[in-house]
Amino acid sequence: MNASLPRPLTLSTDGPLRGRVRVPGDKSISHRALMFGGLAVGETRIEGLLEGEDVLATAAAMRAMGCTIERTGSGEWSVHGVGVGSLLQPESALDMGNSGTSTRLLMGLVASHPIVATFTGDASLSRRPMARVIEPLSLMGADFTAAPGNRLPLTLRGLSPAIPIEYTLPVASAQVKSAVLLAGLNTPGITRVIEPVATRDHSERMLAGFGAEITIEDTPQGRSIAVRGEATLHPQHIVVPGDPSSAAFWMVAATIVPGSDIVIENVGMNPTRAGIVAALSAMGADIARENERDVGGEPVADLHVRNAPLKGIEVPADLTPSMIDEYPALFVAAAFAEGRTVARGAHELRVKESDRIAAMAAALTACGVGIEEYEDGLAITGSGGEPIAGGATIASLIDHRIAMSMAIASLHARGRIEVDDGRPIATSYPDFTDTAEILGARADWSER
C-alpha cells in the first residue's frame, strides 16, 4: 500500500448493532494531561491517554521543549516535567500535524517563556485562523510572525516576565481561554479570562488538580477564571475518561440502526461537553446513563443506547459550546428524524478542520437528504427513520469528523456511501473501524 494514497472507507451492517465498547480517551483531557504534566516537577502518570495523531503531536512538542514522555504500557504514559518557566528552546519547528488544540494551547505555554518556537502543520491546519489566540497573547507581550491571514507557519517569540491581562473572550472558545490561562502560569500576578458564554472547563479542573491557584466566579459580564502566576505544579495520576466526541458516533449509530442495543463504557459526562446527549435525548433518543461516578475530578458514566425513533427539533443555541465538535454526528441523526431539525448558532463550524457546515450540507445532499444551509448551521428534513438514499462518494476534506459521521450514515442507507479517504480518522480515533466491527458492522477499506 502506498501510504500517500487515499483509502476510501465504507461501513455496512446486515442487522442491529449489539455489544459493549469503550471509546478512546478524551482528546481535550489527553492534550492537557501531557502539557500540565510537562510543567510539573516530578513524574505524572496518565492512564487511558488517547493515542491518536493529534495527541502524539502534543507529546512530540513537549519532548522538543525538554520534557521526558514515555509510553510505559497499554494506554499508560509517564511524563517527567521540567517545571513552570523551564521549557527549553526547541531545536526545530514544532509540527502540529492536524491539531488545532495542540497549536493554540502550546502557543499559550510558549508565550510566557523566553524562547522562540515555530509552529507548522498540515494543509488543513495551515488554513485555520490563529488570530483569536495571537490577539490576547500579544497583549501579554509575545511577538508573532505568521503566514498571511495569521495562519501557519507561525513563529512565536515569548516574553518572560510576561504581562498579566484581563481578557474577555470575543467568541466562545475553550482553546483561547486555555491559551491565556497557560500563559498566565508563568506570568507574575493575576491573569484573568472572562467568558460571556461558558465553554468546556477541563483546563480549570485539571490546573486546580495540579496545584495551580485558580479562582472561578460568576460575574455580570460572564464566568471569570483567574490564575495566579509563577505557579508550582505538582505531578498527578490522571485517568482519562472516554471521549464524548468519539462516543457520539455510536450514540447516533445505535439510535438509527433498527434493533440496536449497545453500551458505551466510561464516557466523560462533564456538563460542558454533554450537549450531544441532551440534543439527541430531546429528539427522542433512548440514552440511559448507568454507573455514574467521578474519575479524577471528571463525571463519568456508561451510556446504554437503544434504537429509537427521532423527531426533528430546533436545537437550543445554548447547547452549542458543549457540543461544537459533535454537530456533524448530530446532522446525521437529524437526517433520520421525522420532520425538520434546525441547528443554528454554530458559526465556529466554518473554521474547524474543514468548513463543517458546507461539508456536511454537501455530503447529506449527495445522499438524498433535504438540506437548507445557513451561515451558522443547517436545517435538515429527515427520513422518518427510513434508510436514506445514499449511493454517493463523500469528500472527507482531511476532516476526521466528517469521515466518521458519514461512515455512520452508511449503516442505514439504501445505497453504498463511500468516504473518499478514511485516513484522517486516525487523528482522533485510530480504532474506529475495530469498534464498528465489535458492534457487528463491517468495515470495507478500498485501495487506490
**CATH number, residue 385:** 3.65.10.10
Mark which of 188, 218, 239 sits at the end of a domain.
239
Given a contact cutoff of 8 angstroms between Cβ atoms, the answer to whether 315 and 283 are in contact is no
Say what the pLDDT of residue 316 is.
95
Instruction: Quote the percentage of the chain above a pLDDT of 70.
Output: 99
Residues 173 and 293 in one domain: no
Mark which of 207, 239, 271 sits at the end of a domain.
239
Count: domains in the chain? 2
376 in active site: no
List Cα–Cα distances, 234 to 28, 37, 38, 61, in angstroms.
20, 8, 10, 21
- 352 assigned binding-site residue: yes
Beta strand 166-168 pairing with 190-195: parallel
Please indicate, yes or no, if residue 2 is contained in any of the structural domains.
no
Please indicate, yes or no, if residue 410 is contained in any of the structural domains.
yes
Residues 230 and 247 in one domain: no
Please indicate, yes or no, if residue 3 is contained in any of the structural domains.
no
Cell (9 digits) for 6: 487515499
Residue among 327, 162, 135, 129 at smallest CA distance from 230: 162
Say what the pLDDT of residue 320 is.
92
- 311 assigned binding-site residue: no
- 32 assigned binding-site residue: yes
Please indicate, yes or no, if residue 4 is contained in any of the structural domains.
no
Range of the domain at 111: 27-239
Say what the pLDDT of residue 2 is.
45
Q: Which residues contact 222 (CB under 8 A, 6 or more apart)?
A: 168, 194, 195, 196, 197, 198
Q: Of 8-17, 150-159, 315-324, which range is least confident? A: 315-324
Please indicate, yes or no, if residue 1 is contained in any of the structural domains.
no
Say what the pLDDT of residue 74 is.
77
Residues 278 and 195 in one domain: no
Task: Summarize pLDDT for 57-107 with one digit per residue, the tens.
Answer: 999 999 999 999 999 987 799 999 999 999 999 999 999 999 999 999 999
Residues 77 and 170 in one domain: yes
Which listed residue (122, 243, 325, 431) is catalytic?
325
Residues 290 and 154 in one domain: no
Residues 270 and 178 in one domain: no
Residues 134 and 196 in one domain: yes
List Cα–Cα distances, 140 to 38, 157, 220, in angstroms.
22, 12, 25
HSE, CB side, 13 Å, CA atoms: give it for residue 415: 12
- 28 assigned binding-site residue: yes
- 325 assigned binding-site residue: yes
Mean pLDDT of 421-433: 94
Please indicate, yes or no, if residue 252 is contained in any of the structural domains.
yes
Residues 301 and 201 in one domain: no
Instruction: State the average pLDDT for the chain.
Output: 95
Given a contact cutoff of 8 angstroms between Cβ atoms, the answer to whether 194 and 167 are in contact is yes
Residue 174 has pLDDT above 60, yes or no: yes
- Does the global pTM surpass 0.95? no
Residues 21 and 77 in one domain: no
Instruction: Quote the percentage of the chain above a pLDDT of 90.
Output: 93
Residues 273 and 202 in one domain: no
Residues 173 and 310 in one domain: no
Residues 283 and 173 in one domain: no
The arrangement of strands across the sheet holding 442-445 comes to: 392-394, 417-419, 9-12, 442-445
Tell me the sheet residues that pair with 315. 343
Residue 351 has pLDDT above 50, yes or no: yes
Say what the pLDDT of residue 145 is.
98
- How far is residue 51's CA from residue 429's CA, in Å, rounded to a whole number? 8
List Cα–Cα distances, 94 to 63, 103, 108, 246, 425, in angstroms.
10, 9, 14, 26, 22
Q: Of 18-22, 111-115, 194-198, 381-385, which range is least confident? A: 194-198
Mean pLDDT of 319-332: 95
pLDDT band at 27 (very low <50, low <70, confident <90, very high): very high
Task: Summarize pLDDT for 275-324 with one digit per residue, the tens.
Answer: 999 999 999 999 999 999 988 778 999 999 999 999 999 999 999 989 99
Phi (first) and psi of residue 33, to 5 degrees: -60, -40
The torsion defined by the Cα of 348, 157, 195 and 223, in degrees rounded to 10, comes to: 150
CB count in 10 Å sphere of residue 370:
13
Cell (9 digits) for 85: 518557566
| Secondary structure letter of residue 411 according to DSSP | G
- 442 assigned binding-site residue: no
Q: In 3-state terms, what secondary structure has residue 258?
A: coil
Mark which of 239, 260, 294 sits at the end of a domain.
239
Q: Which helix (H) or strand (E) holds 332?
A: helix 327-335
Mean pLDDT of 44-51: 95
